[in-house]
Amino acid sequence: MRSSPWLLAACASLIPPLSAATPPTTTLPAVEVETPRLRTVPAFDTPASIDRIDLRADNATAGMNLSERLGAIPGLLARDRQNHAQDTQLSIRGFGARSTFGVRGVRLYADGIPATMPDGQGQLSHFSLAAGDRVEIIRGPFSALYGNSSGGVVQLFSAVGREPDEVTIRATAASNDTFGASARWLGRQGRVGFNLAAALFDTGGYRRHSVARRESANARLDVDLDNDASLSLVFNHLDIPRAQDPLGLTRAQAEADPRQAVAVAEQFNTRKAVRQDQAGAVYTQAFAGGHQLRVAGYAGQRQVEQFLALPVAAQGNPLNSGGVIDLDNDYGGVDARWSWQGEVAGRPFEWTAGANTERMRQHRRGYENFVGSALGVRGALRRDERNRVESVDEFAQAWWQVAQRWSLLAGVRHSQVRFRSEDYYASASNPDDSGRVRYTETTPVGGVMFRASDDLRLYLSAGRGFETPTFNELGYRADGGAGLAFDLAPAISRNIELGMKWHGGAATAIGAALFRADTDDELAVASNTGGRSTYRNVGRARRQGMELSLDTALAEDWRLQLAYTRLSAEFRDGFLICNRTGCTLPNVPVAAGTRIPGTVRDQFFGRLQWQAQSWEAALETVAVGDVSVNDIGSESAPGYALLHLELSRRWTLGHGSLRGFARIDNLLDHRYIGSVIVNEGNGRFYEPGPDRTLLIGAEWKSAR
């Protein structure tokens, strides 16, 4: 891998001489996480890259988008697209970078309920930071134990109600007519803990034609039952009544006016509306002898209506499904697992075995986006199909401390994913496109941990993962024909990771990892035009690199966080692609060794924080390398480095406290490309990031 002098220099410049500081005597607490599915083993003793973000800690962000809180995680790239019709771009170690909307390649969970459907497509939009307690992220081979689409796992957990009651009210106002407000009541009555939260977000948008509004509500009830049993109930509501889509820009357009929207966005009034409701329950029963049963179930509904800028002429083709997408998704699932904690051969041992099934029923309709000369309105029906995807998985894992300094963690998962489509829009010029396909994979994973000292752990892990195409990727055939692309095969990955974790006695944590993932039948964008993407398998790919992180107290009032990622992601086989609008026969070569578009070679985050009594201030820097935007590598978005500044003060008021805060993002008012649309067929790859923005806010917290 090639070196990155400018980023390494940035790292060095932010690290003051540690010997000159007097560190505090407090030590980092042992962090316990649920993501590895281990009941008693802390993250420090797990042979995997695992991070935990405390959502209840003070912050000076809007508190609405998960991307605001993920910057310090190495290997993870979360990009706010300034486009709420397309959700956050999220990738881990290069997996998921190709997604043009939503999240794929990474498994998402909220309070144990999958935010990733059984086909591998996920959304972050309903994650409630207002209700949140923490976010857990796992990277590397062990994410394969979560099944399909396992480049990594991101889990959000809501806070559990406790005594005394706590009420939190938060409001923010920011540039670009942006407003946010949230409220949470956290408490406990007898055996029932409760967490009730609601949030509102409204923005005029940095770019023209990017107005958006989002409303959400979240409720969690935790009930202590008799005989060592408990029941958790979770309810979630999301409503995005409007989210305009400004679409991407060409390089020239972005440089001339980054705030503009392309003309067709306003002509067709490109936009999206989403409504989602879901509920889930988790029952846990502990038994004598270290046994535990956990059963979870959930159900939900998600409705999406999206208006695209598909030209009227293109819809003259009888096989075209129109410029309006109307989706009704019903989904649900059940997960049951049995675990045991005890000793084997006199050494601590823990195992878990279980099974889960998930299903999604989708009614997909397409309409013309015009009526007569009126554009951007729902017209005649052009597509009507009912799709279904189901997964059935069995899994088992075991952890064993085989010696005083050595422990092993191993697991295996068997997955079966079935797709079925029934076409209700068939005619002489548009034949019946019904069909079905099934994918079956077994994904083993294993790791060994060496306890070099009380503060130092070394580990090695390896495993196999897979990604099926999602229904969105199956939705359109690369050859322009009608029906689903059932010829797509799943991508199979072989992952290996070598890592180190060190926790010092002076509130310091250091992490480092080397990783490689080799993929067969890599799924890549074949064409992307008019808001529609088609996909194909393009052979072998490789993602490899390193991650470094540091979290340390420099002095009594100072703290420093650093995170650096170096990623090399490339196609290892050459292939042909379409490189122009309307192309259905690939004829442009992509050479072996070409960089996978959407991936970032270098990524750096630094945060220097000062806190003394009621005042707090922080300086953040974020640096991202250049991003290739298409398979042939003919264009790229330039890299950038941004500075952010924040300041806050807290006042004690009776039984509560008031905290005022302000944050300036992009302090130096740097122009940059915040995100890209991979392989956009019209050459509109670029989504500019905002210039200097100011956010002010207040948070009132009352305990009684």
Q: What gap in Å lies between CA 558 and CA 616, rounded to an integer?
A: 10
pLDDT of residue 682: 86
Using pLDDT thresholds of 50, 70 and 90, give the confidence band for residue 580. low
Residue 286: CB atoms within 10 Å: 15
pLDDT at 511 over 70: yes
- The DSSP 8-state label assigned to residue 241 in this structure reads E
pLDDT of residue 139: 94
pLDDT of residue 102: 77
Q: What gap in Å lies between CA 571 and CA 591, rounded to an integer?
A: 8
Using pLDDT thresholds of 50, 70 and 90, give the confidence band for residue 486. confident
Domains and CATH numbers, the chain: 5-703 (2.40.170.20)
| C-alpha distances out from residue 584 to 33, 81, 310, 481, Å | 48, 29, 17, 9
Q: What is the 3-state secondary structure (H, E, C) of 267-289?
A: HCCCEEEEEEEEEEEEEEEEEHH
Q: What is the 3-state secondary structure (H, E, C) of 642-692?
A: EEEEEEEEEEEECCEEEEEEEEEECCCCCCCEEEECCCCCCCCCEEECCCC
pLDDT of residue 126: 85
pLDDT: is 582 or 79 the higher one?
Answer: 79
Do 462 and 445 form a contact (C-beta atoms < 8 A)?
yes
- Over residues 550-571, the pLDDT tens digits come to 999 988 899 999 999 999 999 9
| Position 2, amino acid | R
Average pLDDT estimate for 70-87 = 89
pLDDT of residue 88: 84
pLDDT at 387 over 90: yes
pLDDT: is 483 or 257 the higher one?
Answer: 257
Using pLDDT thresholds of 50, 70 and 90, give the confidence band for residue 180. very high
> How is residue 559 written in tokens?
């703290």
Average pLDDT estimate for 311-329 = 91
- Over residues 634-674, the pLDDT tens digits come to 999 999 999 999 999 999 988 899 999 999 999 999 999 99
48 closest CA partner among 500, 546, 395:
500
| C-alpha distances out from residue 615 to 173, 455, 521, 620, 651, Å | 21, 32, 53, 17, 10
Kindly give the pairing relationship between strand 152-158 and strand 107-110: parallel
Three-state secondary structure call for residue 7: helix
pLDDT of residue 32: 55
pLDDT of residue 427: 84
Q: What percent of the chain has pLDDT over 70?
A: 92
| C-alpha distances out from residue 443 to 72, 484, 521, Å | 29, 27, 16
Q: What gap in Å lies between CA 582 and CA 584, rounded to an integer?
A: 6
pLDDT at 19 over 80: no
- Over residues 454-480, the pLDDT tens digits come to 999 999 999 999 999 988 788 777 776
DSSP of 300-343 = EEEEEEEE----TGGGGSTT---SEEEEEEEEEEEEEEEEEEEE
Total-model pTM: 0.90
pLDDT of residue 36: 66
